[in-house]
Every structure is written in C-alpha cells, then in structure tokens.
Structure 1
Amino acid sequence: MKIIITRERIKLINIVRNEKSWIESNAVEQLKKYEKLDGMIRITGLPDLHAGRVPVGAAFVTEKKIYPYLTGSDIGCGIALFDTNVRMKKFKRENFIRDLNKVKYLEDIHADLSEYKFPYMEKLGTIGSGNHFAEFQKIEKVYLKDEFDKLNISKDNLMLLVHSGSRVYGQIVLEKYLESFGTLPLEEGSAEFNEYMKEHDNAAEYAKVNRKIIAEKLLKITGKEKPDLVLDSSHNMIAGKAENGRNIYIHRKGAAPSDMGMIVIAGTRDSLSYIVKPKENLSEYSYSVSHGAGRKWTREGSKDRMLKIHGKNKIIQMNKNLIYSDRKVLFEESREAYKNIERVIQDLVEHDMIEIVASLKPLITFKR
C-alpha cells in the first residue's frame, strides 16, 4: 500500500502529519499567531500538537532574540529513563505496589541533598501534578539491537521512567521575566538576555536533578539500590545552536530535541513508550521530535467522557496499577484522553524523523 504523506506549510510553519493524523484546527490557528514575531524564522508543529496557552508539541526557531514565554513556566521539564538494576524475574509487582502505597506523598521521603545548592530545595525530588509521573516499566521489544546495546542496559532489567520538571523554580523565573518584559523579546547579548538564560539554565539543571532524586526516592521506598541514569532529555526550554554561520534559538514547548542522541517518547499510563533515535540534521523540523502522545481531550471534559464510556467500576479496575493521591488523574490521565502514541510514532517514522530502538511497557505508575 502506498503511503501518502502531506506536509502543510503556512509561511514559516511546518506541521508534521499525514492523511490519518488528527490535529485540532485550534492548535494550528494558535501557531499562526507566532509566525510574525520579530526574529521568528521557523515553526514546527509535531504530531502530538495540541492547544494550550502556547500550543504544546511545537518548536519555534528565532534569530538574535528569544521569547521565554514560548517555553512556559516548567523550564527543563523532561523525561529520564533509569535502569533499576532489578532483574525482571525477581520483580514482584504486588510487593512494589504495597511498599509504594505506604507513601502518602513523595515529599515525605528523605533524600540527601547536601551536594546541591538550588532555590526551592523543598520541592526537589517531587513529581508535581498534571501529566507528570514516575513509571516502572519493562523492555517490551528491541527493534534495533546495535543501537540498544549502546545504552548498556539489559532487556531483562526493570526500568523506571520519570517525567517531571523544575516545579516552582521555573515558574518564578518566568514570572520575573513577564513582570519586567511581558511578551517582548530579549535581545541576544543584552544584560537581560544573559541574566534570563543564566536563570533558565539553572532551572533546567534543577529539573534534571529533580528527576534523578525522584528515581532514587522510589528505589529507596522499595528497598532497592540507587538507579543508573540511561537517558535524559528536556522538552520545555530554549537551546542555542549554530546554523549556517548564524546563531539560532530553539524554543521547545512539549517538543524533544533531535540533536542530543537517543530519547524516550512517552506514552500514556497504559500504553507503550518508545526509545527512539532521531535522524540527523532535522533542521526542517526545528531539530525537534514529539515528546509524547499529546492530549486529545481537555482535562475539564475528561471525567464525563470516561464515565460515559466505561462506568465507575471499570475505571477503578483499569487503574489497579496506578498509585495516586488525586482521583482526578483516573479521568484526566486516561489513555483515551490522549492521542494514540503508535500513530504519533508512525507519523515521525513516515516523515523519516526517527528510528525506533525499543518499546517500554508500563507496570506501575506513581503519581504522588
């Protein structure tokens, strides 16, 4: 069967989708608002694109100027994959669930933070709300053995995927900028530009450390050793890059980097996630690929839809492997509330943007 791939361009905008893809028109209309910004040279809407204050699943490329509000308040938000060094044959789901259920909030678990010096240390090692999570997973299938072997992990080990960001720190950095400049850009080389980027980079480092501490806490709860970091990538931040003799700035809002090696594209709580290798020089796509499935339903409308489709009892049964503190996640973070992750991955493959290295199957999801 011949695959027909369509690429829609609206001046500076490139939207990645094909004839079977679904991207809400509202998200596309939102992207159009930004193509006339001073210094804007390229905008990419990825298959997980959906509407937000700034559309999520998008990358914006500028020259000589940056717009901090385009990446939002959760600076450095990203996904990290850890090897727990627990063999799957020794993994007992019921024991892990029992131990994890003893914890009311991750804030209650002590961690040695003496080597770190950040603001808002009290939030370091906490997941946060929304679509953030920590998930124990197993390697479901290896597609590219040579690439998988480069990760130096065993397909027989239990893995841990953590999705979280800079918590209140990133929000304070953005609010400081908005209070002084609103939606105005910061000029490359100016004192304001340098000050913001310094705080931005520190918040991004905070987010990376946050994911590490979360993983360490969860292994501590279950009586295991510290995990080993395998991959970590941020999908909410500004990255500078040299391109054709000029400096450009990539603003990613729910978009993963394609120029940092292998990454994980996360699925929903009960669907697969994927380790992928982005293709080289994806300049046409703003050096970015999808970060996850992308929302299909609004959070506000998810409960009524889920109850209508499944009913209360079935919903509870469907979430037997979910450890949560807020019942809203049963509805807001359901598989149905998101786009089909396989469709998103296939769109990226068909546009020759990624190679699939391996898939990951969820076993226990922690959201406390």
Structure 2
Amino acid sequence: MNDTPIHLIGADPRLFDPVALDQLERTAAMPGIARVVGLPDLHAGRGIAVGAAFWSPAHLYPHLVGSDIGCGMALWQTDGALRKFRLDAAERKLHGLDGPWNGDTAAMLDAAGLPADLADASLGTIGGGNHFVELQRIEEVVDADRFAALDLCKDRVWMMVHSGSRGLGQAILDAWTARGAVAGLEADSADGHAYLAEHDRAMRWAVVNRRVIAARFLAALDLDGRCLLDICHNSVTPHAGGWLHRKGAAPADRGLVAIPGSRGDFSYLVEPLADRADAALHSLAHGAGRKWSRSDARARLSARFRVADLERTALGSRVICEDRQLIFEEAPQAYKDIARVVADLKQAGLVRVVARLRPLISYKTRRT
C-alpha cells in the first residue's frame, strides 16, 4: 500500500486522464518519493505523467526530469509597435531560422559559465515536438495595477520562446539510464553530485538556447526587446531540505510565469501567490496540457482537415509548420482548454492573472 500523498489541483479531479493518474500512482510508490502534485494540465507521458511535481528528501530521479532538461518558456516584450505590425510582412521575414546559428557560440556559452565543447549546431534552434516561437499581442490587461507596476506596454508585439536543451539533455538522460539511475540516486553521493552538475549545465545551456533563438527572431523582424522572464519546467532543484523534481511544471518561486495555450488559443501572464504555494509544491501548470496523444491527434485530425486548414486558427493567427506530421500532432484541437487550466490555478489560490495574450504567428519549423 502506497502512503505517499498525491495532491491534485483541479476543480473536478474526475476529469483527469486515468492513465496519467496511474502514472502518478506508480511514481508515488518509488522509494524516497514523499510528495506528489498533479497540476491542471496533467496528462500522460512516456511512463511519467507530465504536468506534475515530485519531492524527495534525499533522492534524485533523472527520468522524472526527463530528456529535455531545462526546457522552458521565455517571454519578451519587443519594441515593435503593434499598430505597425503586418502579418504578411512578418511571415515573409521568418526564413533561415532552423539551421545552425552563425554567431559566436563559444562566447555565448562562456558568458553563461559553460565550456566551449558544449557548442553544437543545435544551439539557437527550436527543435521538434511542442517547441515553438510565438509572436503575440496583449488581448486583455487583467490586473492594470500590476501591469503598470511591471512597466509593461499594451501596444507592443510580444514574443514567447519555448525550447530546451535539445540533444544535450537527451544524452545526459541516456547515459544515466544506462547506469541504472532509474532506481534513483542518493543526492549526497558521488553519482548524485555528478548528475546534478550535468543537469545544471544543461539548464544553463537551455537558457542560452532560448536567448539565441530570441535574438535570431528579433533580428529577422528588425526588432529589439527585453526579456521579462525565463523559466524552466523540466528540472530538479533543492527544496525544503530535499529535492523537487518538476516534469512539465512551471516554478512558482521564480517570479512571473507565462502559461501558453495551444497554438490557436490565448496565453496567460500570471504572478504566483505565496499563501498556498506549498500545497502545490511551489509549482504551476506549464501550459494547456495535451488532450490527445500525438498519434491520436494525427489520426483524428488528418482525416478531417487539410494542412492548409491548420495554418490558420480560429483566433485569426497563423501557424508556420512545414512538417506535415507535426502540424497535425500539435494542432490546437489536441490540447485542453487553457482558460480552464488557469481558472483551476486561480481557484486554488495559486496565481493572479496579469494579462492575456493573443497569438499572431506561431512558428514551429520551415524548410528554408
């Protein structure tokens, strides 16, 4: 009998995917796991539920962090005036962004305290899966006082970058899995220290990656801007004398958080609230969460829609994705209702919504 408590954040826990709940139960039964939280975007992953946080007093589990260590969101307010932004012109400029960056990767890594040998052709690229860059506008200022206090501008083009550590995180997970780390590592051991060192390097690499991606897109659009936040949602960090694993969970202890919807829905800028944060292991939903698996989405939608249908959304935004399989797998229909996810966080007393953002162009991949 497993006695590890599982706390679900949701107005109606009966709506959670039973497969994801089974995955939470199995994780809760692992040696050394003392607390488990399922967030409103909870969904089944590859053996590990996504949209969850796991706390252990003394153990590290690399597979609970997963292969994309440091994957996260960065949100930029650009200096581009919204009134001058033209979708056609912006779309024409977004070319040549999938290949290797031609900048000084060694200098970027050195500035982040990383060795030059971590440079490779993937630095500054978005990657596959659910990663993206999205140009946005403020749809609604929900908390005008906080919006003003944060010195934010409603009449600007905004940009959200979602990417991670690319092949570096995968290589780290593969190496530790081969060494038997699925059984767990004692944090205060040689192996524990070695994994944490590699993990932390991948975290910093992911931040650099998002920074370079942002610079490439800003340059393509002839814009400048400032980064308002950069948060990781696949990580393990010290917490309450132990170790907090987040798998698809945004940190509630790092300031502002951007919670994206699907490529055809709104995103939310929220501020975490401290009073009830411990109940959720100081974690928040990192997005809408999948409603269908990628294979289900592809099967369901490819029979109903043409690719061209999915290049425009109900909100009037555009999707740039020249991977025929991916555009079906990542279609808005495959995701949960982001408004419901954020409402659950608000009802649980975990966030205050500052603003809601509307997508303009969602960029995933282009062949040239």
| TM-score, structure 2 as length reference | 0.91
C-alpha spacing 1:22/1:120, structure 2 compared with 1 (3 Å)? farther
1:233 aligns with one of 211, 216, 231? 231
Q: Say whether 1:36 aligns with 2:36.
A: no
Structure 1: give runs of 5+ residues left out of the alignment.
1-8
Equivalents in 1 of 2:175, 2:13: separation in Å? 42
Once the two structures are TM-superposed, the CA of residue 68 in structure 1 deviates from its matched residue by 1.1
2:79 aligns with one of 54, 78, 85? 85
C-alpha spacing 1:312/1:85, structure 2 compared with 1 (3 Å)? closer
Equivalents in 2 of 1:311, 1:123: separation in Å? 30
Q: Say whether 1:328 aligns with 2:325.
A: yes
Q: Could you tell me which residue of structure 2 aligns to residue 3 of structure 1? A: none
Amino acid at match of 2:292: W
Q: What SS does structure 2 have at the residue aligned with 1:215?
A: helix
Structure 2: give runs of 5+ residues left out of the alignment.
none
Q: Say whether 1:69 aligns with 2:63.
A: yes
Amino acid at match of 1:350: Q
Question: Residues 100-139 of structure 1 correspond to what in structure 2 (within 5 A)?
Answer: 100=94, 102-103=95-96, 105-113=97-105, 114-117=107-110, 118=115, 119-139=118-138
| Stretch deviating more after TM superposition (149-158 or 256-265) | 149-158
| Stretch deviating more after TM superposition (298-307 or 77-86) | 298-307
Equivalents in 2 of 1:20, 1:331: separation in Å? 28
2:270 aligns with one of 272, 276, 283? 276
Equivalents in 1 of 2:190, 2:13: separation in Å? 47
Instruction: Please report the RMSD computed on the Cα atoms of aligned residues, expressed in angstroms.
Output: 2.0
Equivalents in 2 of 1:252, 1:11: separation in Å? 17
Percent identical pairs in the alignment equals: 38
Equivalents in 2 of 1:86, 1:168: separation in Å? 33
| Stretch deviating more after TM superposition (216-225 or 122-131) | 216-225
Note if contact 1:21-1:47 (Cα within 8 Å) is conserved in structure 2.
Answer: no
| TM-score, structure 1 as length reference | 0.91
Q: Could you tell me which residue of structure 2 aligns to residue 5 of structure 1? A: none
Note if contact 1:111-1:217 (Cα within 8 Å) is conserved in structure 2.
Answer: no
Note if contact 1:26-1:51 (Cα within 8 Å) is conserved in structure 2.
Answer: yes
User: How many residues in Structure 1 have an aligned counterpart in Structure 2?
Assistant: 353
Equivalents in 1 of 2:270, 2:312: separation in Å? 31
Equivalents in 1 of 2:72, 2:343: separation in Å? 22
1:349 aligns with one of 340, 346, 349? 346
Q: Could you tell me which residue of structure 1 aligns to residue 201 of structure 2? A: 202
Q: What SS does structure 1 have at the residue aligned with 2:198?
A: helix
Q: Could you tell me which residue of structure 1 aligns to residue 172 of structure 2? A: 173
Q: What SS does structure 2 have at the residue aligned with 1:107?
A: coil
Once the two structures are TM-superposed, the CA of residue 181 in structure 1 deviates from its matched residue by 2.4
C-alpha spacing 1:163/1:316, structure 2 compared with 1 (3 Å)? closer
Note if contact 2:125-2:209 (Cα within 8 Å) is conserved in structure 1.
Answer: yes
Equivalents in 1 of 2:354, 2:14: separation in Å? 23
1:57 aligns with one of 51, 58, 65? 51
Amino acid at match of 2:205: Y
Equivalents in 2 of 1:208, 1:234: separation in Å? 8
Amino acid at match of 2:278: S
Give CA-to-partner distance per residue, 1:16-36, whole Å, 9 cap, x none.
Answer: 122387311010011100112
Equivalents in 2 of 1:45, 1:238: separation in Å? 16
Amino acid at match of 1:131: N
| Stretch deviating more after TM superposition (33-42 or 253-262) | 33-42
Equivalents in 2 of 1:20, 1:44: separation in Å? 12
C-alpha spacing 1:189/1:139, structure 2 compared with 1 (3 Å)? same
Equivalents in 2 of 1:184, 1:19: separation in Å? 33
Give CA-to-partner distance per residue, 1:64-95, whole Å, 9 cap, x none.
Answer: 11111111010000000012211111211111
Q: Could you tell me which residue of structure 2 aligns to residue 212 of structure 1? A: 211
Amino acid at match of 2:104: D
Equivalents in 1 of 2:188, 2:4: separation in Å? 28
C-alpha spacing 1:303/1:188, structure 2 compared with 1 (3 Å)? closer
Q: Say whether 1:141 aligns with 2:136.
A: no
C-alpha spacing 1:160/1:21, structure 2 compared with 1 (3 Å)? farther
C-alpha spacing 1:317/1:70, structure 2 compared with 1 (3 Å)? closer
Note if contact 2:100-2:124 (Cα within 8 Å) is conserved in structure 1.
Answer: no
Once the two structures are TM-superposed, the CA of residue 329 in structure 1 deviates from its matched residue by 2.6
